[in-house]
Amino acid sequence: MNDRLTFAVPKGRILDEALPVMARAGVVPEAGFHDKANRSLTFATTRDDMHLIRVRAFDVATFVAHGAAQMGIVGSDVIEEFDYADLYAPVDLDIGHCHLSVAEPREGAESVDGASHLRVATKYPNLTRRHFERQGIQAECVKLNGAMEIAPALGLAGRIVDLVSTGTTLRENGLVETSRILDISARLIVNRAALKTDPRVAALVEAFRADAAAREVA
């Protein structure tokens, strides 16, 4: 119990929405966290027994699943992609909404009808393979961490699987959505062992759960 808790948060789109939710649950980073020029990965909080780490979204899940962080916030896309046995997502925070979709060129895309194999650019190979397997199609996944939208134009892959919010980036790159794989929102995640052994983790889960319930009622 003398050890500090480590709370992992993602860089990028979810974080701005997550900070007010965290604050209402009692997880408040100190001022240096908000300095855009600060390249640190670890930050103090207003709690003496907790600090934050700010890492890539995929790494949030890995840190929590392996117990290097006890708790964190990440999109349900990451949870589904990794499917870690030691990861538990007890609270849907109802923020960070978007969806994971298949997209293809507006014109000239090869039909999937009767196809047994497709090449797809994505950073979600597991979700992508499972989606196409349900259609009897083997997906060869080309792993990219960004710039997915230009893959079809450059001949790298005939389709992409990526996050979609407004769809503007797809349209600007001549792509259209053809199917939706997963609706996504941000979740509170915890390490299962930490939840069982550290009452502080359980108390924070309840604080986040109470905030989510209050917002739903409001």
pLDDT digits 0-9 by tens, 112-157:
666 789 999 999 999 999 999 999 999 999 999 989 999 999 999 9
Q: How far apart are CA 177 and CA 195, in angstroms?
A: 39
Work out how many domains the chain is built from and give that number: 2
- How far from the centroid of its chain's Cα atoms is residue 15's Cα? 11
Provide the mean pLDDT of the chain.
93
* Location of structure tokens 């060129």: 105
Q: How far apart are CA 218 and CA 204, in angstroms?
A: 21
Residues 12, 86 within the same domain: yes
What does the pLDDT read at residue 2? 57
What does the pLDDT read at residue 1? 45
The predicted model scores a pTM of 0.92
* b/e code 160-183 from CB counts within 10 Å (16+ = b): bbbbbeeeeebeebbbeeeeebbe
Q: How far apart are CA 207 and CA 202, in angstroms?
A: 9
Domain range for residue 31? 5-96+185-217
Residues 6+ apart with CB under 8 A from 109: 152, 158, 159
The enclosing domain of 29 has a CATH number of 3.40.190.10
Residues 50, 78 within the same domain: yes
Residues 165, 176 within the same domain: yes
Residues 169, 106 within the same domain: yes
Reported as a single tens digit per residue, the pLDDT across 71-113 is: 999 999 999 999 999 999 999 999 999 999 999 999 876 666 6
